[in-house]
Amino acid sequence: MGEATTPTAIGADTGAQVVFHLFAASDREETDAARDVLSRAGVAYADLRPPGVNAPGDDVLTGTATAAALADAVAALSHFFRYGIAVRLAGPTDVVVRSDPRVEHGHIVIRKPRRDVPVRDSGALRSALNGLLAQGAPDPAPLPYPPSLMFRDHQSAELAAEATRLARVFTDPDFVSGADPTGTLLDNLQKLADASGRPRRLLDLLLLAHAFSRTDDGDHRVRDLRIPGLDEVQGVASTVEVFVQPSTDPESRVLARPLADGRQGFLIGLPPQTVELMANISWALPTLCAVTGAASGAADPDSFPLDRDSTWGAVDATVASYMRCWRPPRAASLLPPRPLIPMAMPEGEIPYGSGDPYLVFNACALFLIARELTPILQGRLSNGIEPPLMPFTAGLPREVRLATQADCAAYVHTMNALILGAGTDGPFVPDFGNIRRHFHHGKPSRFGRIRRLEEQARYEAGVVLACVNRTTEAVLSYYAVVDMFAALARARRDGALARRLEAIGERREAVCGYMLWIKEHELPEAWGLRTRLEGEEDGWERVWEYVRHAQRHLVPTLVDPSR
């Protein structure tokens, strides 16, 4: 098979050529076929999959070519791809090429906002591409992007602009136009960049948390933990960005892109539907955990009391409203989701209080970003460094062990980032010494100074406990959402996606065990706070009971509404 040519650095002059983004499924050998066709045609391309990593979803090959060369390559690939090929314009010079199960094998269509236009051969495709390219208005230079608030002086403008470009490339026009018929997100680059503003701030918090958190760099055998410090993290901050993928794709992912100075840049794609569904499940978790009834596998379903049915029914309605939007048909009008969680701060609630929905959304988004950021921080993606395998993952396959360790590290990173983000004028750094000495649930002291210290300890401990609880709920909701999407993918005959999501679900037990160990042993010793709740494991099991119910009874109705 052909070998990749030297990638074109971001920002390089492409002349009159178009920038193509070719999506190919490696599990169906489409990636190898695409590499071979492009190499034979002499087309330069870069593989955005990080080296040595089994990235989720389709591989993405991006490069530059004339419209004629790209048309010939796409025509040749139409015989190798499992489905037909849809070609669409994602900007003045960006062309997205991907296999689509809605297009008959061997056929090629030009994807327009409300309809598909079939093309017969490479000549017709070349003509159609030239027509599309002639209509596009030029992009502003540089592309807009959300600035880093904490690492502004170290942020890479070229990588940040590339994040905005990829947000447009990964957009599912059917989902966006169905959810927003005005089409403003598709046509407004600034609005598209603004959608990644909050994730960019959350990335800053994760980097800051890493800078001041003691770490063994993934090696549990190290006794002397080190603090990375700002200098080290500033270097990382210039090589990583995050963007929102405006689609229903349930998977987060990392893409690699060479920078003009020779370093490797990384772009983390965040799936918005997954974040929102996770937030809704997180919001409902205290209720799901409190549902009483027979143990899992009970022979008599009627032995559950009524509160289970009403609770599950409310959660079912919300889950279904999000999952129905998955991979919408062409030109469909999508019904708005029915969230359980408030989409704005309720009147009377306070930040980091029990009714703060933003804390829930932030915890869910932070965990997804942290899962992808952890291997970057450990040097796995840039230097090929692999951390030693932890003893608690023994018995699992090697790749599963590494992924499990990344999820566990993401749990701690998310918790620390949430705590740092509680500050109003800067990072929030609790005085854990004062918490150990003065935090209690009894009556406050009558002495002024002691009373003030007790009030400070009570406030700071409340913030820390809220962050621990919301982070734990985010992790549990992540595995719940993954399991439900795996069942939906299998029901819709997408075996590749189902297998990837099921593999993630297999890590749940080990990660949950790690969270319990952290809450029972590490946090009380480090922070002086009791964070493990009585009966917590029983509550988690009730959540998995609901997930099994959704897989068996809710998902089939989404595939066949007559059931």
User: Residue 301 — pLDDT band, cuts 50, 70, 90?
Assistant: very low
> Which H helix or E strand runs over 495?
helix 495-505
User: Residue 302 — pLDDT band, cuts 50, 70, 90?
Assistant: very low
Distance separating alpha carbons of residues 49 and 83, to the nearest angstrom: 22
> Cβ distance 89 to 95 under 8 Å?
yes
Predicted confidence at residue 184, as pLDDT, reads 65
Predicted confidence at residue 366, as pLDDT, reads 98
The pLDDT tens digits of the residues spanning 33-59 come to 999 999 999 999 999 988 766 667 789
User: Residue 183 — pLDDT band, cuts 50, 70, 90?
Assistant: low
The more confident residue out of 183 and 529 is 529
Predicted confidence at residue 533, as pLDDT, reads 82
Q: Is the pLDDT of residue 221 over 70?
A: no
Amino acid at 529: L
Q: Of 369, 57, 100, whose CA–CA distance to 244 is shortest?
A: 369
Q: Which two tokens stand for residue 42?
A: 């002499």
What percent helix, strand, coil does the chain show, rounded to 5? 50, 10, 40
Q: Is the pLDDT of residue 365 over 90?
A: yes
Looking at every residue in the chain, the average pLDDT score rounds to 86
The pLDDT tens digits of the residues spanning 79-128 come to 999 899 999 999 888 999 999 988 999 999 999 877 889 999 999 999 99
Domain boundaries in the chain? 20-52+63-134, 157-213+236-291+307-328+335-559
Predicted confidence at residue 10, as pLDDT, reads 44
Q: Specify the pairing of strand 59-65 against strand 94-100.
A: unpaired
Mean pLDDT calculated for residue range 455-459: 89
The pLDDT tens digits of the residues spanning 416-435 come to 999 999 988 888 989 888 88
Percent of the chain, pLDDT > 70?
88
Predicted confidence at residue 558, as pLDDT, reads 93
How many other C-beta atoms are found inside a 10 Å radius of the C-beta of residue 555? 21
> Cβ distance 265 to 288 under 8 Å?
no
Q: Is the pLDDT of residue 223 over 70?
A: no
The pLDDT tens digits of the residues spanning 342-361 come to 999 999 999 999 999 999 99
Distance separating alpha carbons of residues 143 and 51, to the nearest angstrom: 27
Q: Where are the alpha helices (DSSP H) in 41-172?
A: 67-77, 122-135, 157-169
Token look-up 């291997």 returns 375
Percent of the chain, pLDDT > 90?
57
Q: Specify the pairing of strand 94-100 against strand 240-244.
A: unpaired
Distance separating alpha carbons of residues 102 and 492, to the nearest angstrom: 13
Distance separating alpha carbons of residues 424 and 507, to the nearest angstrom: 36
Distance separating alpha carbons of residues 109 and 119, to the nearest angstrom: 6
Predicted confidence at residue 215, as pLDDT, reads 63
Dihedral, CA of residue 45, residue 48, residue 49 and residue 50, to nearest 10: 110
> 264 - beta bridge partners?
258
> 215 - beta bridge partners?
226
Q: Which two tokens stand for residue 45?
A: 């391309």
The pLDDT tens digits of the residues spanning 261-290 come to 888 999 999 999 999 999 999 999 999 988
- Please enumerate in sequence order all residues whose Cβ is within 8 A of that of 164, keeping only pairs 6 or more positions apart, or say none: 143, 144, 145, 189, 192, 193, 196, 243
Predicted confidence at residue 523, as pLDDT, reads 86
Distance separating alpha carbons of residues 560 and 563, to the nearest angstrom: 6
Q: Which two tokens stand for residue 431?
A: 């005085």
DSSP 501: H
The more confident residue out of 92 and 186 is 92
User: Residue 6 — pLDDT band, cuts 50, 70, 90?
Assistant: very low
- DSSP letters, 357-408, are HHHHHHHHHHHHHHHHHHHHHTTTTTT---PPPPGGGTTS-HHHHHHHHHHH
> Cβ distance 237 to 155 under 8 Å?
yes
Mean pLDDT calculated for residue range 524-537: 85
User: Residue 226 — pLDDT band, cuts 50, 70, 90?
Assistant: low
278 SS3 class: helix
Token look-up 């018995």 returns 395
Lowest mean pLDDT among 137-146, 177-186, 353-362, 423-432: 177-186
Q: Of 247, 63, 267, 254, whose CA–CA distance to 156 is shortest?
A: 267
Angle between helices 448-491 and 508-517 in degrees, nearest 10? 170
Q: Where are the alpha helices (DSSP H) in 170-238?
A: 173-179, 184-187, 189-194, 197-211, 229-237
Q: Is the pLDDT of residue 400 over 50?
A: yes
Token look-up 């410090």 returns 229
Q: Which two tokens stand for residue 433?
A: 């010494």
Q: Of 49, 100, 54, whose CA–CA distance to 494 is shortest?
A: 100
> Cβ distance 86 to 78 under 8 Å?
no
Lowest mean pLDDT among 95-109, 180-194, 199-213: 180-194
Q: Is the pLDDT of residue 239 over 60?
A: yes
